[in-house]
Amino acid sequence: MTPTTAAPITPAAVRAATAATYAAFIGSGFAIASWASRIPQVRDRLELNPATLGLVLLTVAAGSLLALPLSGPVVTRFGSARTVRTMAVLLCVGLATTAVGSLVGVVPVVIGLLLLGFANGAWDVAMNVQGTVVEQHLGRSIMSRFHAGFSLGTVAGALLGAAMVALHVSVAAHLAGVALAVGVGVPWFARRFVPDHVETAPAVAGEPPRVGAFSAWREPRTLLIGVFVLAFAFAEGTGNDWISVAAIDGHHVAATLGTLAFAGFLTAMTAGRWFGPGLLDRYGRVPVVRILALVGIAGVALFVFGPLPVVAFAGTLLWGFGVSLGFPVGMSAGGDDPRRAAARVSVISSIGYCAFLGGPPAIGFLGVHVTVLRALTVVAVLLGLAALIAASVRPLGTGPVAPGAVPDDRETAGETTTAAHS
């Protein structure tokens, strides 16, 4: 059979898809941070003790972990655009249910958070798949900027939450408003996504354009990228959860300075994600992520062993910058072949997100025995592992490339890169 050639994607369509992908990342961060900003008020309203609150919050992670392995087949079957639109509406329902639960009881809150976690997990995979497709059409690295957009969304959600608290707006009204904005806005933007599967050349003879979505779990490269992402996700998540506590308890600084150390970490990570694409395009994935892993190790060492608070603060900046590109580059590597992007990104995300679930309690357990500050040395060990296996994210050299763009396969020794034909 002769393969069907898809209609060419115009530059205007790619620009629209780029803006839409930013909107999806920002909307996801905004929704999650909006809920997180009101956790103390929900706790007080429902009179939850710490143990019960911990179980309630675990439902978000449970929903995400349930969704992530299923997301590959779903996105492969229905496409990233339809998945994001559907999951945005489901997340809207989850937030609205949580809003009602904040008034009537814990059961609706648990149901709402389970829906929120499930929707966000599938949404996450779908928007990363679209991000890899947009990258390939642009012919340059941009994935880390999408993740910087997620960070900006979380900041916006947190600031809005703080304003709602200051203005004494109820949790129900606040979350219902966010649900409406996200449930309408994100699907409207997602209509501008470009198709996930663009066939620019016939597949290898006898090879189907798509194979079983679950088969990605048997691919050594995909699993290795998952471990690579897990290491960076652990470093990122641990910084989010423990820098303030470790600065206050370990370096004995005031609470305000501990919060500033955390803010410095976030700022450096966001800056790295925004300015990182230039480094990736110039030097290639493998050298950049290896060097950044070493920068992260140096940052962790300065933070843990620095003799003065100012040295520890400098360490948080290096730590944040060092971990900034690991997760986005892993997503890009998973999407190198558009025909397999959904399945591979799903697997990589599933492995990587285990770090966000298991990282905080692991550091807490070690902290009981060696102090939280010293327990953070585990981050340096995992970043060292990421540096060792960084070759796993070397580009495959497949997929559509923008006319005149140079494929990002600089790391292949002795291989000459050429511009793609129109």
Question: Has residue 204 been placed in a domain?
Answer: no
φ, ψ (nearest 5 deg) of residue 208:
-70, 150
Q: What is the 3-state secondary structure (H, E, C) of 121-168?
A: HHHHHHHHHHHHHHHHHHCCCCHHHHHHHHHHHHHHHHHHHHHHHHCC
How far apart CA 335 and CA 132 sit, in angstroms, is 5
Question: Which range marks the domain in which residue 45 is found?
Answer: 11-190
Question: Has residue 284 been placed in a domain?
Answer: yes
- Do 170 and 40 fall into the same domain? yes
At which of 149, 174, 190 does a domain end?
190
How much is the pLDDT for 82? 94
- Do 169 and 47 fall into the same domain? yes
Q: What is the CA radius of gyration of the chain?
A: 21
Give CA separation, 284 vs 49, 141, 164, 337, 366, in Å.
Answer: 49, 9, 44, 17, 36
Contact between residue 356 and residue 172 where contact means Cβ atoms under 8 Å apart: no
Of the given ranges (184-188, 232-236, 241-245, 404-408), which has the lowest mean pLDDT? 404-408
- Do 236 and 293 fall into the same domain? yes
Question: Has residue 357 been placed in a domain?
Answer: yes
- Reading the block at residue 132, the tokens are 């890899």
Question: Has residue 196 been placed in a domain?
Answer: no
Structurally, how many domains does the chain consist of?
Answer: 2
pTM of the model: 0.76
Question: Which residue, 107, 22, 109, is CA-closest to 60?
Answer: 109
- Do 378 and 256 fall into the same domain? yes
Question: Which residue, 252, 283, 298, 236, is CA-closest to 411?
Answer: 283
- pLDDT tens per residue, range 327-361: 999 988 988 887 788 788 888 888 887 887 777 67
Contact between residue 128 and residue 345 where contact means Cβ atoms under 8 Å apart: yes
Higher per-residue pLDDT: 413 or 228: 228
- pLDDT tens per residue, range 78-96: 889 999 999 999 999 999 9
Question: Has residue 388 been placed in a domain?
Answer: yes
How far apart CA 201 and CA 3 sit, in angstroms, is 9
- Most confident of the ranges 60-64, 65-69, 210-214, 299-303: 299-303
- Do 186 and 320 fall into the same domain? no
Question: Has residue 412 been placed in a domain?
Answer: no
Average model confidence (pLDDT) for the chain?
83
Question: Has residue 178 been placed in a domain?
Answer: yes
- Do 42 and 181 fall into the same domain? yes
Q: Is pLDDT at 282 greater than 80 in this prediction?
A: yes
- Do 173 and 285 fall into the same domain? no
- Do 241 and 154 fall into the same domain? no
Helical pair 285-305 and 377-388, crossing angle rounded to 10 deg: 160
Q: How many CB atoms lie within 10 A of CB 162?
A: 11
Give CA separation, 215 vs 33, 40, 69, 420, in Å.
Answer: 34, 42, 12, 30
- Do 221 and 186 fall into the same domain? no
Q: What is the 3-state secondary structure (H, E, C) of the chain?
A: CCCCCCCCCCHHHHHHHHHHHHHHHHHHHHHHHHHHHCHHHHHHHHCCCHHHHHHHHHHHHHHHHHHHHHHHHHHHHHCHHHHHHHHHHHHHHHHHHHHHHHHHCHHHHHHHHHHHHHHHHHHHHHHHHHHHHHHHHHCCCCHHHHHHHHHHHHHHHHHHHHHHHHCCCCHHHHHHHHHHHHHHHHHHHHCCCCCCCCCCCCCCCCCCCCCCHHHHHHCHHHHHHHHHHHHHHHHHHHHHHHHHHHHHHHCCCCHHHHHHHHHHHHHHHHHHHHHHHHHHHHHCHHHHHHHHHHHHHHHHHHHHHCCCHHHHHHHHHHHHHHCCCHHHHHHHHHCCCHHHHHHHHHHHHHHHHHHHHHHHHHHHHHHHHHCHHHHCHHHHHHHHHHHHCHHHHCCCCCCCCCCCCCCCCCCCCCCCCCCCCC
- Do 185 and 321 fall into the same domain? no
- pLDDT tens per residue, range 180-219: 999 999 999 999 999 886 443 344 444 444 455 577 888 9
- Do 269 and 383 fall into the same domain? yes
- Do 110 and 28 fall into the same domain? yes
pLDDT over 90 percentage in the chain: 42
What CATH number corresponds to the domain at position 264? 1.20.1250.20
- pLDDT tens per residue, range 383-395: 999 999 999 999 8
- Phi-psi sector, 399: left (phi>0), alpha (psi -120 to 50), beta: left
Question: Which residue, 186, 222, 214, 212, is CA-closest to 68?
Answer: 214
Question: Has residue 353 been placed in a domain?
Answer: yes
